Chains A and B, each alone.
Chain A
């Protein structure tokens, strides 16, 4: 599959008629906001982008802490080292804009990856998951698994993250569409870290585990902790739809304790993001009339895709992620770029 993927993507590049002479000069830095398992796929994505598109470098560089100043210092030092394109998960939706503007002034293209910066911005695009849509689809899957009725709990991420509000509303929308048979009995937010997630989810399970019929999680850590809790309890009555691809969640799906998970596409973000930065360096520009989506922060958003995986295809989830990337890449240049 990987070979096929490489062949098709290479062909796509050639067909586009833009085999850049200077691709080998492109050195992309992929910089998350801090350490988090979600971003680990960016490393492989960068390596594959180097191989498939002939880039000079596409390296994954993680700040030691979730700290805007540290992220800024890291980016500045990487540029000092010769990286000439930056893909960044914004350390702050506002504060990151300043450094992106300075990089743009220095002729270094940038894009926000997996999370957006607020406009006005010099970032060329925001490429990430349509979080609301993912939460909506996941909740729909859960409701189907519950037979269209029952009580559900929603575990989600930090309240300061604008995505969290979107996710809460999306879950509510899916429940409302279920026609009254489904009720949200608890929303627990601000738990995208292991300590609070462990404390609050286990307390909830102890107090209301007997009443709840379904769990939807829309952030990485709550998904892991909830999957672990259900596995430890040995409870297959409660249906759960998680998010992302942590090994704990995938194992729980295989063992039947979790119904499925909504995969995001961090691999595709890093892979296609690197490709796009190389194109921009090669002289392409983003089309003003491209099929952009709008979010609360930007109107230059590109959905990196989402897909539901259950026990039937959990063993091939990597292929599923690459499949999404392939679909986006096929039309990326035609849809978004003027080359």
Chain B
């Protein structure tokens, strides 16, 4: 027991947790309304979506790759779901499954092209981002699907725990636990990590690295679609601009959460709960800066600076912690 507590203190997640608590304290005492029920509920909803977007990018970063088409996949899945529910009249649950299938399929295409051509996924997904988004715009003529079933859209407005928490957050947290279980306790999860850490060694040990990379892209597409489902319930409609032009508005939260959370850009190491805390930290900072009346145009600037400082502080803490362990 005594050994386990210090181990947690050495982790990246502990540093992030401290930062989350410190900023929560700062914003609670220095702003009006941070702890109001409305604000906490709104925060929980934004955090839920940012966590899911971060997880979707995390599983591709695990391979040493990137998924720039994440937003485009999300929008495609949302529009496809909107079409299923509104035009085809397919019930909610089958429509959600179809949306997840669509996301996985588009991720599979990314994976197949990446492993078959050997081109870095940065380039591949840069191209598919335009292709997916363009194809979606062409098919839908950029028309939103706005008459979705009430039960579906009400989910995004529902309030739990004395109206403080959105159910969307529960979905995201549950997804975190599912991914944690996948990577920690299942054979396929360990193979995915091994393939990302050292592809040559993994191949020699009998793991099909290409297949694992394709699985990662499929999982990314699946999680991207799940993020889009949450966002659609939140907006109440499936609209082409829900993730910005070409879906690029998702990229910043997609990168920030996993990288701050301790996922290595070179691949082979990920942190599910670190990504979750990274998303919480980013959303918290954005919200707090809004409440502090920092000019809206400065928020992104300050966000970058504060996050950089946060990461440097966290790394410094890690360095000194390790040093003290070695010395002792």
> A residues touching B (Cβ–Cβ < 8 Å)?
35, 61-65, 67-70, 72-74, 76-82, 91-92, 94-95, 97-98, 101-102, 106, 118, 160
Contact = CB atoms under 8 A, between A and B. Distances in A.
A74 B290 contact: yes
Given A68-B235, A80-B33, A94-B146, A73 B286 contact: yes
Contacts of A92: 144, 235, 237, 239, 241
Contact of B236 (A77, A81, A97): A97
B297 A76 contact: no
Interface of B: 31-34, 36, 38-39, 42, 46, 142, 144, 146, 153, 156-157, 231, 234-237, 239, 241-244, 249, 286-287, 290-291, 296-297, 299-300
Contact of A77 (B39, B153, B237): B39
A77 B146 contact: no
A94 B239 contact: yes
Residue of B31, B34, B286, B296 with highest tally of chain A CB at under 10 A: B296
A76 B241 contact: no
B252 to A, nearest CB: 11
Contacts of A68: 235, 239, 241-242
Contacts of B236: 94-95, 97-98, 101
A81 B296 contact: no
A69 B32 contact: no
Contact of A81 (B33, B249, B299): B33
A90 to B, nearest CB: 11
A111 to B, nearest CB: 19
B32 A64 contact: no
B296 A61 contact: yes
Contact of A95 (B142, B242, B299): B242
A69 B242 contact: yes
A81 B146 contact: no
A86 B244 CA distance: 23
Given A77-B42, A92-B241, A101-B157, 4 more contacts: A64-B299, A68-B242, A80-B32, A94-B146
Nearest to B157: A102
Nearest to A83: B33
Contacts of A65: 244, 249
Given A64-B296, A68-B241, A102-B157, A76 B42 contact: yes
A76 B142 CA distance: 27
Q: Is the interface of B mostly helix, strand, loop or mixed?
A: helix
A98 B241 contact: no
Contact of B146 (A78, A101, A106, A118): A118
A64 B237 contact: no
A67 B296 contact: no
A63 B249 contact: no
Nearest to A77: B290
B50 to A, nearest CB: 10
Contacts of B33: 79-82
Nearest to A78: B290
Contacts of B146: 94, 118
The 8 lowest CB-CB distance pairs between A and B, nearest first, are: A80-B39, A98-B236, A77-B290, A76-B42, A80-B33, A94-B146, A95-B235, A81-B33
B38 A106 contact: yes
A77 B144 contact: no
Contacts of A62: 296-297
A62 B237 CA distance: 24
A76 B288 CA distance: 12
A160 B142 contact: yes
Contacts of A81: 31-33, 291
B239 A77 contact: no
B37 to A, nearest CB: 9
A73 B242 contact: no
Contacts of A118: 146
A98 B157 contact: yes
A95 B146 CA distance: 8
B282 to A, nearest CB: 12
A67 B244 contact: yes
Contact of B32 (A70, A82, A98): A82
B296 A74 contact: yes
Nearest to B144: A94
8 contacts: A61-B296, A76-B39, A76-B46, A77-B290, A80-B33, A80-B36, A92-B241, A95-B239
Nearest to A62: B296
B280 to A, nearest CB: 15
A76 B38 contact: yes
Contacts of B299: 64
Contacts of B291: 77, 80-81
Contacts of A82: 32-33
Contacts of A95: 144, 235-237, 239, 241-242
A91 B32 CA distance: 26
A73 B287 contact: yes
Contacts of B297: 35, 62, 64
A338 B38 CA distance: 30
B299 to A, nearest CB: 6
Contacts of B296: 61-64, 74
Given A73-B46, A118-B146, A80 B242 contact: no
A208 to B, nearest CB: 29
A57 to B, nearest CB: 12
